[in-house]
Each structure stands twice: as structure tokens, then as C-alpha cells.
Structure 1
Amino acid sequence: MTETTMTGGRLRIEARNLTKRFGDITAVDDLGFTVEPGRITGFLGPNGAGKTTTMRMMIGHITPTSGSVTIGGKRYHELADPSATVGAVFDAASFHPDHSARDHLRVYAAMGGHPDGRVDELLSLMDLTGAARRRTRGFSTGMRQRLNLATALLGDPRVLLLDEPSNGLDPAGTAWLRSFLRHLAGEGRTVLISSHVLGEIQQVADDVVVIRQGRMVAAAPLAELSGTAPAVLVHSPDAEAVARMLVQQPFAGYETRVERIGPEQLRVWGPDPASLADLAAAHRLRIHGLTPEEPDLERLFLDLTGSMR
């Protein structure tokens, strides 16, 4: 990625009282949230929750019934150079079947006023150089996703809106995408991802916005979404004594909670692993393993949305 587009500063997405009705159906109902630059935000909700409708309102594909979405304080149609500001990936099938990958990108580069040299740069970046002359009708779902991402990146945008970007990617492609998105966020770009693959969101997202039936359910940093500190899994032959120690001598400033999950295993909320190990050593208690446990996004999602899978 070039650095020139970053001279315009970081851009925040702000949705305010966003509502969209299709006849008698309210697809999005009074949504309000922000997507911060330099971070990856996961946009989650059950099928039909209104995620894609919301994202399409961000780039003017759908007009809100009321409320607004701004990008850097401006609505999409007010941006001086929209395709160099926002890149969006929605439909992995939106290619002319008789166009080659290179032809497709050249058309969109010309439409956006981007240099033709950007096409080969992105074909290489997306590992599509070998398929550059192939017609898109023969592309796999994963290749279509990479070509779609290349299209979104033609203007080297500071904001990325990605709807199910890992769909169809193999494990290597998914790992590459995760690393690539972290790189983009590290450059100060604003990244919003809608996905049903909760494990992927848990690995890549900094923040999470959760909606259900078009309404806001939660919006918070992922680490805070559970309302508690991450747990530590403790493996110790002295597990019973460790549990008593924590109950009888809680850490200052911590709300310590202990759950027995096996004969020699505990799940502990509150202290960090290093502090817990130091306290156990001071009491001459054996600790054979300490593993930080991140919040279970799937469990949180089901609890927040009332969904069943």
C-alpha cells in the first residue's frame, strides 16, 4: 500500500439514528455507533439483522429513511474522491463473466480515475497475476473474493467496508487476509467487517458492533464485551489450595472469581497470569500451567442475540 492517501488523516464512521424501512418492514431501526480509525470492527448479527443494509447505506447504495452515516464528518456523496476514500466489498459474484481479472480492474480503475499501473500492483498483491487473463466466469469463490478486494483497494482507500470477506477462502487465504487487514488497520485505516465466521472475527477484531432485528444490541471493544476480565486457566496439583488462597486472600483491586473445571484445573477471573503465579509461589503452591483465555465470542453472540445455532 502507498502512504500518500494517509495524508488526509484518519477517518471515523459515525451512524446516528440510522433507520431504513422497506414498506412495512423495518430493516434498520435507530442504529447509532462509531467505527474508529486504526482499528478493526466486527459487525455481527443473525441473518436478516440488517448488517448489509446498514453497510450499503454507508456508501449511498441505499438511502436511509431517517438518520445519517458520515465518514470523516461527511456523507458519502459529499466526499471529494469517494473511491479513494472508501473501498467496499459486498458481492463476490459481481463480475462480467467474459471479462478477465485485468480487464475488470482496468475498467474500475478508469471509472475511479486511478492509475492503470495500480492494476498489476493489486493483481500481484492478491496473488492473481497468473490468472490475470482468465475470464472471471471460471474463478473459484476464493479467487472472486480476492478480485473483489483488489477492486476495493484500487483507490488505496482509508476506509474499508467488507461484507463476508473470508467467504470461500482456504485456511492459508484466511490467515493471509487476517494479517493483511491488521496491516491496513496498523496504517491508521478504518476497517469494518461483517462476518458469520465468529472465530475469525475473534482473532482479528478490536471492536464489535452487534445488532438484532435491525436494532443495536452491543457496541464495545471485544475485550470488554463480556463485562469481565479475561479468564486464566490454571493447571495445578494444588488446585484446591490455590482456590482457597484466592478466596481467602483476594488481589487488591480485583474482583476475583474461581471456577473448578477439573481435578487439577481452575478457571480464574481477575488477576493476570504473572500476578497469580507470584502469589502461588509465595504460598509454596505448585502451578504447572497458566493459559489466558479470551472471551468466547460465539457464546457472547448467542447470549446477546438470543440466537440458536
Structure 2
Amino acid sequence: MSTDGLTVEVSHLTKRYGEITAVRDLSFTVEPGVITGFLGPNGAGKTTTMRMLTGLVSPTSGTATIGGKPYKRLARPSGTVGAMFDANAFHPGHTARDHLRVYAAMGGHPDSRVTELLHQLGLAEAADRRTRGFSTGMRQRLNLATALLGDPRVLLLDEPGNGLDPEGMAWLRGVLRGLAADGRTVLISSHVLSEVQQLVDDVVVIRRGELVAAGPWSRLAGPPAVLVTSPDAETLAATLATSHANAGTVLRVDTVGPGLLRVHGLDAPGVADLAAAHRLRVHELVTENTSLEQLFLDLTTGTLTNDRAATS
């Protein structure tokens, strides 16, 4: 059954610790029904921002709201927002069931929710084991179960995939996709970019506490490039540049190695047709989609061209 989502909005958010500015004039929006990846290098300000969203850190200036309200003004915070920060925030002598019961009681959630989540998140067999013996992956599952106790409409998850094996990551993708499809608002930070690429719809990228880019991942990635292997690469590059200059279209050709070109702005059939028309040899054409890792590196090292650095 779908639920009404709530928009998360960060507006001109700044946090200073003495002379250090952890977050600087940061603004972005996270919409319901999609999974948004919150990305940036270590120390970029991701965790500080998420803690300001949950009232754990007070901003120096600006606002962080959920459904138009700061966290402290929500009527039932744990029933609105599920937050996941520290995978080690468990009493080592508690069992998984004990831990969830404590947090359920604190949030005013029924004990039946504990049993439901233990089964839903694959913890039923480990429910009565002490958390001191849990693997990192099991701790992540229990952390997520804790965040979901109030059946929240917003999820703020800091590195939820840490310690999960490939099967666990596939499971996590399924859980989060289901929550987003249900109309919930999901914001996750992660350093496992290959996994994030398979999961997120939108991305927010920050560097040194400032926004670098935000928007749909597919738009930021841009159109694919074409990798061309040709013994006539030099002539083909000149021909591509000339033909498209005459046509008034934007095309970029980079020489990436002997006999190897990367073409931006023309698809593989277009490259093949032009080469054939000029009797130039092509041995291989490979369509290259931009990876999230490459986009991230381009954005956070400042090498991305302006037409790709879009903001929402």
C-alpha cells in the first residue's frame, strides 16, 4: 500500500566548528518515490548534513526540513523519519530482539513490529543472539530494522551497504527499491559507487561542504561516448570534426591511444556510417556509458564540463 511521501529540503545550510566550515550554503531537495544518493569524498560534510536533518547537530545558519518542518517539530519523529548512522550502536549484551524492543518502546511502536522486522530483514534466526557476535553485515541489517520500526515515510541512511556481501547488497537494493516504490523518500550516502549506480535515481554531490551537482543520475551522466578502434584514426578524427563543424553540431573527438578514439556527440551507427562514406577502416565500436565512479571523480576533482554540472 503506497504512502504519502514527504519532501526533504536543505536550504542555505551552513555549519561551522570554530574556524572550520563543514557545510557551506548548501541547498538541495530530495523528493518522494525515488532513491537519492548523497555523494562526496571523505570529509565533504555528508554525515554532518544528515545529522542536521535529524536535529543531532544544530546548523550555524540555514534550514533543514522534512515535510516543511524541522525534525524537532515533528509530532512523531521516529514515525516520520528513520535514520541510520552508526552500525555499532548496539549494547553488546543485548540480543537483536532486545535491541529492537527497547527502541520500539522508546518510539511508542507495538512489539509486533519487532517480530515483523526480524523476519522482513532476514534476522529471525539471529533474533536471540547477542549483538557482540554479529558480523558487520548483520549489524547493518539490525540498524536498518531499527530505522524502520516506526514505518517512516522518510529514510536517511548513512553507508547502509557497508559490510554487505554481494547477496546482501542485492537484498538491500530490493528493500530500498520497494520502499521508494511505496512513495517513501530515501536518501542514502555511500562510498560503494558501483552499487549506488545500480540503486539511485537522483544524486546530490558535494565537495568541501558545498554543492557540486544535483539531479537525475541519467541526466548528469550525459549521453554515452563511442570508443573507436581504427587504423585510420587520425584521418577519421579530422573527418568527424570537419563534417560536424559544417553541420553546426557539437561533437568532441579525443585520441586516447594509438588507433583509438573516444567520440562524444555521435552514436556508434553514426560513426560507422561516416567512416564507411569516407572509406575509412573501423575495427571496433564500443558504446561507453559514463559510470557513477567516473562522474563522481569528474565532479569532485573539478574536471567536469559546465554542461554536465547540472543542479536541480
Query: Shared topology, TM-score over 0.5?
Result: yes
1:270-289 to 2 correspondences below 5 Å: 270-272=265-267, 276=270
Q: Please tell me whether residue 185 in structure 1 is matched to residue 180 in structure 2.
A: yes
- Matched letter for residue 70 of structure 2: R
Q: How does 1:104-183 map to 2 (within 5 A)?
A: 104-183=99-178
Contact 1:37/1:191 (<8 A) preserved: yes
**Residues 55-89 of structure 1: CA distance to partner in whole angstroms, max 9, x if unpaired?**
01101111111110111111112222221211111
Amino acid in the other structure paired with 1:153: L
Instruction: State the distance in 1 between where 2:89 and 2:65 align.
Output: 26
Amino acid at match of 1:30: D
Separation in structure 2 between the aligned mates of residue 121 and residue 92 of structure 1, nearest angstrom: 21
After superposition, the Cα gap between the structure-2 partners of 1:118 and 1:51, relative to the gap in structure 1 and judged at 3 Å, is same
Report the counterpart of residue 19 of structure 1 in structure 2: 14
Deviation of 1:210 after TM superposition, in Å, equals: 1.8
Contact 1:29 1:215 in 2 (8 A): yes
Counterpart code for 1:102:
R
* Aligned counterpart, 1:72: 67
Report deviation, 1:49.
1.6
Aligned 8 A contact 1:223 1:295 in 2: no
Query: Does the aligned pair in 1 maintain the 2:180–2:186 contact within 8 Å?
Result: yes
Give the match's secondary structure for 1:225.
helix
**TM-score, structure 1 as length reference:** 0.83
CA spacing shift, 1:291–1:180, aligned 2, 3 Å: farther
Contact 2:109 2:149 in 1 (8 A): yes
Please say if 1:202 is aligned against 2:197: yes
Q: 1:231 aligns with which of 222, 225, 232?
A: 225
Q: Which amino acid aligns with 1:135?
A: R
Matches within 5 A, 1:75-114: 75-114=70-109
CA contact 1:28–1:214 (8 Å) conserved in 2: yes
Give how far 1:205 is off: 1.9
Equivalent residue letter for 1:45: G
Counterpart contact for 2:11–2:63, Cα < 8 Å: yes
Change in CA separation of 1:279 and 1:183 when aligned onto 2, cut-off 3 Å: farther
Aligned to 2:52: 57
**C-alpha deviations, 1:282-307, integer Å up to 9, x for none?**
96999997654322333333333339
1:18-57 paired onto structure 2 within 5 Å:
18-57=13-52
User: Which amino acid letter does the alignment assign opposite residue 169 of structure 1?
Assistant: L
Distance 1:80-1:303 versus aligned 2 partners, 3 A rule: same
Unpaired runs of 5+ residues, structure 1, are: none
Unpaired segments ≥5 residues, structure 2: 303-312
CA-to-aligned-CA distance 1:191-238 (integer Å, 9 cap, x gap): 111112222222222222222222222223223335x42224467899
AA partner of residue 230 (structure 1):
P
Q: Distance in 2 between matches of 1:99 and 1:93?
A: 12
Whole-angstrom distance in 2 between the partners of 1:55 and 1:176: 24
Q: Give 2:308's aligned residue.
A: none
| Residues 91, 287 of structure 1: alpha-carbon distance in 2 compared, 3 angstrom cutoff | same
Measured after TM superposition, the shift of residue 164 of structure 1 is: 0.8
Q: Secondary structure at the match of 2:213?
A: strand
- What SS does structure 2 have at the residue aligned with 1:204? coil
- Cα separation, partners in 2 of 1:282 and 1:118, compared to 1, 3 Å: farther
Which secondary structure does the structure 2 equivalent of 1:63 belong to?
A: coil
Distance 1:250 1:165, change over 3 A: same
CA RMSD of aligned residues (A): 3.0
When residues 266 and 306 of structure 1 are mapped into structure 2, their CA distance, relative to the original with a 3 A threshold, is closer
Offset from partner CA, 1:152-190 (integer Å, 9 cap, x none): 111221211111111111111112212322222222221
What amino acid sits opposite 2:184 in the alignment? R
Question: Cα gap change, 1:111/1:231 in structure 2, threshold over 3 Å: closer, same or farther?
Answer: same
How far residue 253 of structure 1 moved from its aligned partner, in angstroms, is: 9.2
Distance 1:156 1:271, change over 3 A: farther
Aligned residues: 300
Counterpart contact for 1:223–1:230, Cα < 8 Å: no
SS at match of 1:154: coil
Note closer, same or farther for the CA distance 1:287–1:76 as it changes in structure 2 (3 Å cut).
farther
Give deviations 1:11-68, integer Å, cap 9, x for gaps: 1111111111223322211111111222222112222221111101101111111110
